[in-house]
Amino acid sequence: MPWLTVLIFLPLLGVPVLALWPRMSDAVARWVTLVVMVATFIVALGALGAFDPQVAGYQLVERVEWVSSAGLAYLVGVDGFSIWLVVLTAFLFPVGLLAAWTTTHRVRLFMALSLLLETVVLGSFCALDLLLFFVFFEALLVPMFLIIGVWGSGRRVYASVKFFLYTMFGSAFILAATVYLWFQTSAQFGQGSFDLRQMEQLSLGVTAQRWLFVAFFVGFAVKVPIFPLHTWLPDAHTEAPTHGSIVLAALLLKAGPYGILRFNLDLFPEASRYFADAIAVLAVIGIVYGAIVAMMQTDVKRLVAYSSVSHMGFVILGIFTFTTEGMSGAAIQMVNHGLATGLLFFAIGMLYERTHTREMDEMSGLGQVTPWIAGTFLVASLSSIGLPGLNNFVGEFLVILGAFGADRWFGAFAVSGVVLAAIYLLWAYQRTFHGPAREGQRGLADMVPREFAAVVPVVAAMIFIGVYPKVVLDRINPTSDGVVRWVETVEVDQPDLPGGLRADVQPDYAPPEGVIAAERAGVRGAQGASANARAFAPRGEGP
Amino acid sequence: MRTPISYFLIVSGMLFAIGTVGVLVRKNALVIFMAVELQLNAVNLSLVAFSRMHNNLNGQVMAFFSMVVAAAEVVVGLAIIVTIYRRRQSASVDDANVLRG
Amino acid sequence: MFDLAWLIPALPLAGAVLNLFAGRRLGSRAGWVASALVAASFAVAVAVLIDLVALPGEERRHAVRLFEWIAAGAFRVEATILLDPLSMTMTLVVTGVGALIHVYAVGYLENDPRVGLFFSYFNLFVFFMLMLVLADNYLVLYLGWEGVGLCSYLLIGFWHDRPVAASAAKKAFVTTRIGDAAMMLGLVLIFVHLGTLDFETVLGPEAGALSNGAATAIALLLLAGAVGKSAQLPLHVWLPDAMEGPTPVSALIHAATMVTAGVYLIVRSHPLFEASDIALTVVLVVGLLSAIYAALASIGQFDVKRALAYSTMSQIGFMFFAAGMGFYAGAMLLLVAHAFYKALLFLTSGNVMHGLHDETDLRAMGGLRSEMPVSTAWFGIGALALAGVPPLAGFFAKDHIVNFASQSGRATAWVLASIAAFISAVYISRPLFLVFFGRRRTEARAHEAPWRMHAPLAVLAAGAVTSGLVLGLQAEGGLLERFLEPVTGAAHGTGTGPSEAVLIAVSIVIAVAGVAVAWWIWGSERVDWQSFPERQPELAGWLSNAFYLNALYSWLVRAPGLGFGRGLRVVDDRVVDGAANELGVAVTRSSRLAPILQSGLVRSYALAFLLGAVVLLLFMGLRF
């Protein structure tokens, strides 16, 4: 069964139904959307079941020739990183929909856009063809732009335009680099191609690789966002409707680190090593800076938005440690951040629906009035804080472990983000839910069954990943092992040739035999210590 | 004896020049439209002529394509012109300048 | 029985879940369910202990593997329960004292509408505490460590409509988190150097192979975690504020169990501390300073619970002091004894507050012994036990530690510890006399607590009286010392200094003298203690504000931190975002030039098109 194709286009099937069905009532539109989204989630679980945890490479690959003369193809597949993002996407869209259930403005359009967005997000996590990825990656903007711009609040137009321009700015670089790579494949293999697996085989000169790396990196860094390219995020998150915030924070932000993992590391291993320290510094700045600025916010949604800057810093830091621990930590952290931040925005959405404000100064003592909402917010906060037993801890700990192996200072500074997270989130919790209840807010209703239906699965997933992350990590580890080995061992030592071409076309990217043997042998204990010592050897001194 | 290719090209060039001048100097949208058609057909003529010269049918096929496209264009273009005329009681292209920056 | 050991933490967890979701339906039965589950957990622990004791000493270590928790790369951690003398000692304290405090809380929170939630948190606390002490590796320990911090946060802020309680809860969590973050770094360092977090390897012979620098770094980072959790200098500021929580919470979490987790951590990790040449000395100094500092601060408090909180800090200081000398069994004995008598003291003060409608000010009490005779007895037993009057528990526990200082040749430490012991006897007798003896200073009518609040107190009092005798009476080292020996090793003094008999005599004199001094000042009515703050405003201020450390931190951290944060926010808005917005404005401005070309006249476009085509054609023509 073509799992991925069915998965990607199933939501899209709902769009014409919503658009063309004459005089569909809003209620029916909601239910149709929900059914489609739940069905998509079931397909995603099917894909997860068909995924073989032992394999490091791409799986469930489907390829359809499109314009063969130009090497264009429809090519999708997943590996240990993307399969979880796919599952997360399919999981969170129904949750987001439940948050938007009470929307009354142009419901059918909203639902159609939401389904379109799901297709596009799934597509960008599955595409293995650079051009196909680019199309999906860019197409993310359109529905999101409309969702913020039409259903947002306050300065929604400013926010949506800002979001659009920032991201477009970044992706222009990606497109240019992609086209350059196509010409390289054309020159080196005699047949142009956007196939990622072929592009990996390109031999690029050092300078070319570094420029290309920067181009891709800038594009993805805007999405992550990495300091100092983050300022679109608070505005977009804050003005977006709850559904939009959830999708934006939990899924769209993941396109950034995912792109870096998938494309930057795969295509430009040498440049990745070269820039690793600089990027890790930016990531650490992001962790601390985002946390401090978050602390000073009075708008609870902005606060959570800045906390994303801080948490995504962990993901980037983990990637650029180039240790299996850090890489796996970053990959699982993407999922964790999606769940935790998604739930935080959901809780804020519930509050906003009731109090019509996001200013913490205008809320107080809601813990007595709406204890279940308070509990939801608290669980999500605790997860963000990195409480062991909840999901975020697993990722954060692995990232810090990996960062420490790369450079002690990165680990030490990253840990301060953990303390600051406790301060800003608990402070927010206190300002919102503690203290005496306000006069006008005494009679607010607590969570309704619809909201429980959304919250309970997310909380369950958070606890599950916190207690038994093995299910997730088992599928991630082979892939991160592979990526780390790839990045650490590919050598580009030839001087530059004109056009960034290297003399020998076949790069020697197979790691020396000894490394693999040592890695396989070293399982635990005494043997593990030696393998471990190697894993934490300073970067660049590979065997 | 075959007519030399240059004859066709000269006629085609003249037709194209007439069309171009028509587009540039006339104000009435309908006339401009006809001038555009003239340009298109000038090109068609040269396509057919080249086709004959090379003894293959590619050029003639191309001419058919452009005729079909021209027909489609006429349908859309005329519809627009008629709509504009209804709104503004004028078919002058200089009056339709709402896209001025 | 070992295979059922997972029940020990699982039972309280089940209680937590049950009470969270069905608490409202259970109503007043919630507390009994919670207590029964903790008691059942205690029963399982006793059964496990019996099995464990049946094994010969060196084999008393059994790990029950549950499942693999986190694995990535070379990192691998399993959820495993460790059953050995040390973990069982802690487990019995946690479940035993915990069950008693649960029963007490049933009566104490009778009229609270959210009693189900309370017991859910309470059970959850016991679960996490058990995970902490039963862990077989540092990560599971850290899980428990953070979990008890969370429960402490939830329970301090249980009455969160009071802003003071909410702030105190946050302060407790954040302050301990600073230590926890350091501890997390310590765990990472352990893994970097030893390749695992399992106790068996980390605390085995490999610990000795660590370089001195690495061992010192690891030990000090772990110590930072212990200092935060156990409220020692300099991370102690949260503990007095934590008294905003309900009194059973103060008794269970902030006296008997959670705050002693730091001691447990040090005792458990002692091979790491011993591998470093200075770490144990730091522990010793921190403990001794905290013991004296908190003892002095306790004298200045007029809130009975705050006085007891500083007392807890001081007692834990003694435990740190013992551990710092390598006398781990002594630290554990004091931990056990302290759990009994401090829980007793807190709960009895809860009785008083209950009887006086939540009054906590010592100045508004006095002479309650006629109305609350039973409580007077409990508090008296607890206070005398803490003061170190023989043959109560505190005597054996503290006496061993102080004497060990002398016997191991640390004369200065012995003098300082003796001074601290003297102040302890004074500060703990002070609330005894102020509350129950002397003149009535309030109009309010007190009433004695109901029987089911006394029943657990009776058991605790029995523990406070006998635990020292049973566990610590020195024949060949106390019972507890011999039991713990496989884990902690034996501690031997160098046999210098005065003889044991002299030392014991000195410590009895100190204890009795302390009580006597306290009676003379606060019990005999001969000293006008009430006007002391007016007569000596400076000294009284230093004592009651605990040497202004809290204010100092506020001044050092809070204002500059907030200022820096505000500054950074402005930078973010104006500079980082401002640059982007300015760029946008610049683009908009420059685009004003474009309309000149955009005339809207189709014919001029066509002309431009034509010219362009001509230019292109010319260009191409010229090239060929």
pLDDT of residue B1: 61
State yes or no: pLDDT of C177 exceeds 50. yes
Residue type, A271: A
pLDDT of residue A514: 39
Residue type, C305: K
Q: Quick one: tokens of A502?
A: 């290297």
Tell which residue, C114, C118, C137, has the closest CA to residue C126: C118
pLDDT of residue A201: 83
Residues of chain C contacting residue A166, judged by C-beta atoms under 8 Å apart = 580
The three-state secondary structure class of C27 is coil
The three-state secondary structure class of A195 is strand
State yes or no: pLDDT of A504 exceeds 70. no
Residues of chain A contacting residue C68, judged by C-beta atoms under 8 Å apart = 470
- In whole angstroms, give the CA distance from residue C143 to residue A468: 13
The residue ranking higher by pLDDT, A521 or A138, is A138
CB spacing of C565 vs A295 below 8 angstroms = yes
pLDDT of residue C582: 87
CB spacing of B24 vs C607 below 8 angstroms = yes
Tell which residue, A328, A283, A297, A160, has the closest CA to residue A233: A160
Q: Is C151 in contact with A378 (CB distance < 8 Å)?
A: no
Tell which residue, C350, C340, C305, has the closest CA to residue C450: C350
Q: Name the residue in chain B with its Cα closest to that of C602.
A: B93
pLDDT of residue C623: 83
pLDDT of residue A520: 37
CB spacing of B23 vs C598 below 8 angstroms = no
**Is the Cα torsion angle A282, A283, A284, A288 positive or negative in sign?**
positive
Which tens digits make up the pLDDT trace of A424-480? Answer: 999 999 989 888 888 888 888 888 899 999 999 999 999 999 999 999 999 999 998
Residues of chain C contacting residue A391, judged by C-beta atoms under 8 Å apart = none
* Stretch C334-345: mean pLDDT: 92
Residues of chain B contacting residue C602, judged by C-beta atoms under 8 Å apart = 32, 93, 96
- In whole angstroms, give the CA distance from residue A239 to residue C453: 54
- In whole angstroms, give the CA distance from residue A95 to residue C582: 38
pLDDT of residue C42: 94
From the number of C-beta atoms within 10 Å of its C-beta (0-12, 13-18, 19+), residue C255 rates as buried
The residue ranking higher by pLDDT, A430 or C59, is A430
Q: Is A248 in contact with A184 (CB distance < 8 Å)?
A: no
Q: Name the residue in chain A with its Cα closest to that of C21.
A: A372
**Cα of C154 to nearest chain A Cα, Å:** 10
Q: Which residues contact A10 (CB under 8 A, 6 or more apart)?
A: A36, A39, A40, A43, A119
pLDDT of residue C576: 86
State yes or no: pLDDT of A2 exceeds 70. yes
Which tens digits make up the pLDDT trace of B9-61? Answer: 999 999 999 999 998 888 888 898 899 999 999 999 999 999 988 888 888 99
Q: Which residues pair with C65 in a beta bridge?
A: C80
State yes or no: pLDDT of A352 exceeds 50. yes
Question: Where residue A502 falls among pLDDT bands split at 50, 70, 90?
Answer: very low
**Cα of B94 to nearest chain C Cα, Å:** 6
State yes or no: pLDDT of A495 exceeds 60. no
- In whole angstroms, give the CA distance from residue C588 to residue C595: 12
> Structure pTM?
0.86
Count the helices and strands in chain A (H runs, E runs). 24, 2
- In whole angstroms, give the CA distance from residue A523 to residue C334: 42
Q: What is the mean pLDDT of chain C?
A: 87
Is B in contact with A (3 or more beta carbon pairs below 8 Å)?
A: no
Q: Quick one: tokens of C151?
A: 């429960």
* Stretch C42-58: mean pLDDT: 88
CB spacing of B101 vs C600 below 8 angstroms = yes
**Cα of C420 to nearest chain A Cα, Å:** 34
**Cα of C577 to nearest chain B Cα, Å:** 29
Q: CA-based Rg of chain C, rounded to a whole angstrom?
A: 30
- In whole angstroms, give the CA distance from residue A74 to residue C72: 33
State yes or no: pLDDT of A208 exceeds 70. yes
State yes or no: pLDDT of A68 exceeds 90. no
Q: Quick one: tokens of C439?
A: 């003149």
Q: Name the residue in chain B with its Cα closest to that of C613.
A: B20
CB spacing of C595 vs B24 below 8 angstroms = no
Question: Where residue C345 falls among pLDDT bands split at 50, 70, 90?
Answer: very high
pLDDT of residue C477: 64
State yes or no: pLDDT of C353 exceeds 50. yes
* Stretch A32-46: mean pLDDT: 94
Question: Which of A137-146, C314-323, C386-395 has the weakest average pLDDT?
Answer: C386-395
State yes or no: pLDDT of A301 exceeds 80. yes
CB spacing of A419 vs C170 below 8 angstroms = no
Q: Quick one: tokens of C508?
A: 């009895």
Q: Is A398 in contact with C70 (CB distance < 8 Å)?
A: yes
* Stretch C135-142: mean pLDDT: 93
Which tens digits make up the pLDDT trace of C549-608? Answer: 888 888 888 888 888 888 888 888 888 888 888 888 888 888 888 777 777 777 788 888
Its ipTM equals 0.89
- In whole angstroms, give the CA distance from residue C183 to residue C170: 19
Q: Is B25 in contact with B38 (CB distance < 8 Å)?
A: no
Q: Quick one: tokens of C552?
A: 């100092």
Q: How far apart are the first and last CA of chain C?
A: 96
* Stretch A18-24: mean pLDDT: 83
The three-state secondary structure class of C114 is coil
C189 touches chain A (CB under 8 A): yes
* Stretch C148-165: mean pLDDT: 90
Question: Where residue A341 falls among pLDDT bands split at 50, 70, 90?
Answer: very high
**Cα of B1 to nearest chain C Cα, Å:** 31
**Percent residues over pLDDT 70 in chain C:** 98
Question: Where residue A118 falls among pLDDT bands split at 50, 70, 90?
Answer: very high
